[in-house]
Structure 1
Amino acid sequence: MPLRLGVMASGAGSNFEALVDSFRHGSLCGEVALLVVNNRDCGAQRRAERLGIDWELHDHRLQPNREQLDQALVQAFRTASVDLVVMAGWMRVVTPILIGAFPNRLINIHPSLLPSFRGLDAVGQALAAGVTLAGCTAHLVSEEVDAGRILVQAAVPVLSGDDHASLSRRIQVQEHRILPLAVALAAQG
């Protein structure tokens, strides 16, 4: 059965576009039915306009609390009849309201090999720790930040001349590769 995917993004939207490409080039069956952004005129919004994907703005700054934001997100995704939701660079912690509305159907992509370097600036954390191997993880979202069941991981060597930007670029290439696979695995249950 074709999958209807909802995507949440706050920034550039390259993971969102990688998902759209996966549907359009046949590695996933279905479509990205809705993109939700929380920052007006972010890169993800511009990509959605260019790609002809429906999008909505749900600005967290206009909501009194996280719970009301998440209730609005649940309503938007239910109205769009999505089967699965992906947090593709959504830079907000979500509440049990959103998690409970999509049990085992809410995926996050994180730029570290979890359980290492959870939370903000995982790439910076990896560089500060001096690790020789970094990477990314696609996981199911749980109430504990970056602690849900791991679906797929990809490793990236940390090179001697790496800085935040160079390591982030190599990790992002792997994010684009593993995120569609994670969506397929979650869709299969």
Structure 2
Amino acid sequence: MLLKVAVLASHTGSNLHALTSAAARPYCSFAVALVISSNSTSGALAHTRELGIPALHLSGRTHPEPDQLDHAMLAALREHRIGLVVTAGYMKKIGPVTLNAYAGHILNIHPSLLPRHGGPGMRGRSTCRRAPRRGRRIVQRSGSVLPYASGRACRTTRRRPGRSPRW
């Protein structure tokens, strides 16, 4: 049985592209079953729609009250029977109702240069380009960080520098 994964993304969706490519492999044990974006014009939504994967724009524009947004997200996840939520460049906080319902089942994917090199404009490849300008030496390959999202700080599992595992 395939694990149904929802991907939350806000921008270009480079991690989403990697996940959908991996999911297309015959030996893969998960499927991207839903994509939610806080940005109605994101590349992530465009990519998802091209593949025929259900996609939703949920944000403060669609649901002005944070509680409404939280409940809408949870309803969408339940409707699609999602087993794992992956935040891949998702730039918004996830509400407490969704966090509680999916406790231990929300993974946050980001480069290991974050959060040290985070902040305005520091997302995706710009993080790797700007870090040396801040006096940081960047090795050829950076390690991956897989923090489990919670209401407080993320619990992080850090891999050694090298290539990320393939599913």
TM interval, short-chain normalised: 0.7 to 0.9
Contact 2:87–2:107 (8 Å) recurs in 1: yes
Question: Aligned letter for 1:142?
Answer: S
What is the aligned-residue RMSD (CA, Å)? 2.7
Q: Flag the 1:49–1:115 CA change in 2: closer, same or farther, 3 A.
A: closer
Size of the aligned set, in residue pairs, is: 159
Question: Aligned letter for 2:136?
Answer: V
- Cα deviation for residue 42 of structure 1 reads 1.6
1:130 to 2:135 alignment = yes
Structure-2-length-normalised TM-score: 0.79
SS at match of 1:62: coil
Range 76-85 or range 103-112, more displaced:
103-112
Cα deviation 1:81-126 (Å, max 9, x = unaligned): 0000011111112232221111110011123346644665372884
Structure-1-length-normalised TM-score: 0.71
Q: Which residue of 1 aligns with 2:6?
A: 6
Q: Flag the 1:87–1:154 CA change in 2: closer, same or farther, 3 A.
A: farther
Question: Hey, which of these two has a bigger chunk of helix by percent?
Answer: 1
Unmatched tracts of structure 1, length 5 or more: 157-173, 182-189
User: Share of identical aligned residues, percent?
Assistant: 31
Contact 1:113–1:153 (8 Å) recurs in 2: no
Q: Flag the 1:34–1:154 CA change in 2: closer, same or farther, 3 A.
A: farther
Question: After TM superposition, which residue ranges in structure 1, 4 or more long, deviate above 6 angstroms?
Answer: none
1:43 to 2:23 alignment = no
- Cα deviation for residue 32 of structure 1 reads 0.8
